[in-house]
Amino acid sequence: MVSVNITETRKRMNELIDRALAGEEVIIMRGKKPIARMKPLTAEEFDRSNNELPGLAAARKFARRNP
């Protein structure tokens, strides 16, 4: 696992993506607080997220119209 701050993430994005693809978990930090995690995405996770997108878009649209 590697932890990097936001500035380093911007500078090293290609390298960090390659590391995640190789199986390493990348934690992105803001100060001392972890705010995001990059890890390899399995085919099952990809399929699941694609199936959830239409529902998410509909929920956002509904929320905007009904504050």
Domains of the chain (ranges; CATH) run: 2-65 (3.40.1620.10)
Evaluate if residue 50 carries a pLDDT over 70: no
pTM of the model: 0.64
The reported pLDDT for the residue numbered 13 is 96
Contacts of 65 (CB under 8 A, 6+ apart): none
Q: Is 57 helix (H, G, I), strand (E, B) or coil?
A: helix
Alpha-carbon span 66 to 57, nearest angstrom? 14
What confidence tens digit (pLDDT) does each residue in 3-49 have?
A: 999 999 999 999 999 999 999 999 999 999 999 999 888 888 777 76
